[in-house]
């Protein structure tokens, strides 16, 4: 008989995923109850004689449903960070300049630099963070984390390139400076995201949920 061995890290992750799914199912059930309650209220209002109806209000937090998309979502989310200060463009007569079309060559160079950084330094930095925070992942789980971050790079690169203005691309020296700034920012984002992930990852024996 072949025995399937699951490492402690994978088992812990699967248990967290199971617990998270249960929470989502509970929230969905609450959402369904809320929708049914609102439907009954609307039905009751429609059946009333013509009269002034008080404003019906509810908080959007009551309808919030978190996504469970099957990824670790390590943290490379462009909507959670501020724009690069170097990309700030002063407005003239209250009108903004039109954003520049993304240069394919520039995009490729930035992507290659970011992917190379993850490939060459990602696992090493991850191991250092594991050691300093009392974790020890197996190679498969590390590869899963690195791959999850790689999958988020295109969105991240596009986010920063979209901050460029057309005038920025007219000066080769300025383009070179901005390219270096974008790459440095993405490298910092990768380091920060890995650190945040490790700091929030439950230690063995912990009952914390994702």
Q: Quick: pLDDT tens for 130-172.
A: 899 888 888 888 888 888 889 989 998 988 888 887 777 778 8
Examine the domain organization and report whether 125 and 173 are in the same domain.
yes
Examine the domain organization and report whether 112 and 180 are in the same domain.
yes
DSSP 120: I
In a domain, 72, yes or no: no
In sequence order, the 6+-apart residues with CB closer than 8 A to the CB of 144 are 72
Examine the domain organization and report whether 59 and 87 are in the same domain.
no
In a domain, 86, yes or no: yes
Q: Count structural domains, the chain.
A: 2
pTM value?
A: 0.53
In a domain, 42, yes or no: yes
In a domain, 3, yes or no: no
* pLDDT on residue 185: 92
**Residue that is last in its domain, among 63, 91, 109:** 63
Examine the domain organization and report whether 19 and 117 are in the same domain.
no
DSSP 86: G
In a domain, 207, yes or no: no
DSSP 95: B
In sequence order, the 6+-apart residues with CB closer than 8 A to the CB of 201 are 133, 135
Examine the domain organization and report whether 94 and 152 are in the same domain.
yes
Distance CA 136, CA 204 (A): 10
Examine the domain organization and report whether 169 and 96 are in the same domain.
yes
* pLDDT on residue 95: 36
Examine the domain organization and report whether 170 and 112 are in the same domain.
yes
Examine the domain organization and report whether 56 and 82 are in the same domain.
no
Examine the domain organization and report whether 101 and 152 are in the same domain.
yes
Degrees (nearest 5) of the Cα angle 179, 182, 187? 125
Examine the domain organization and report whether 196 and 116 are in the same domain.
yes
Domain of 115 in residue numbering reads as: 78-200
* pLDDT on residue 76: 57
Examine the domain organization and report whether 127 and 48 are in the same domain.
no
In a domain, 130, yes or no: yes
- Provide the phi-psi class of 75: left if phi over 0, else alpha when psi is between -120 and 50, else beta: left
Low-confidence ranges of the chain (pLDDT < 50): 1-3, 51-73, 79-98, 208-210
Distance CA 108, CA 154 (A): 10
* pLDDT on residue 200: 85
In a domain, 132, yes or no: yes
* pLDDT on residue 109: 95
Measure Cα distances from 25 to 14, 18, 68 in Å.
16, 11, 11
* pLDDT on residue 183: 94
**Residue that is last in its domain, among 40, 63, 86:** 63
* Tokens 């059946």 belong to residue: 47
Examine the domain organization and report whether 124 and 183 are in the same domain.
yes
In a domain, 164, yes or no: yes
């Amino acid at each position: 008989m072949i025995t399937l061995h699951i490492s402690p890290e994978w088992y812990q992750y699967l248990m967290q995923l199971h617990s998270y799914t249960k929470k989502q199912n509970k929230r969905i059930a609450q959402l369904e109850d809320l929708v049914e309650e609102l439907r009954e209220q609307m039905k009751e209002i429609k059946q009333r004689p013509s009269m002034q109806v008080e404003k019906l209000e509810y908080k959007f937090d009551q309808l919030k449903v978190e996504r469970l998309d099957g990824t670790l979502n390590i943290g490379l989310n462009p909507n959670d960070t501020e724009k690069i200060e170097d990309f700030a463009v002063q407005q003239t007569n209250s009108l903004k300049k039109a954003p520049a079309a993304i240069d394919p060559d520039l995009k490729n160079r930035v992507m290659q630099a970011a992917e190379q950084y993850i490939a060459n330094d990602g696992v090493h930095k991850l191991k250092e963070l594991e050691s300093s925070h009392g974790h020890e992942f197996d190679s498969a789980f590390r590869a899963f984390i690195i791959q999850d971050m790689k999958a988020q790079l295109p969105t991240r690169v596009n986010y920063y390139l979209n901050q460029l203005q057309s005038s920025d691309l007219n000066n080769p020296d300025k383009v070179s400076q901005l390219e270096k700034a974008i790459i440095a920012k993405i490298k910092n984002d990768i380091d920060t995201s890995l650190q945040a992930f490790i700091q929030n990852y439950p230690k063995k024996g912990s009952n914390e949920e994702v």
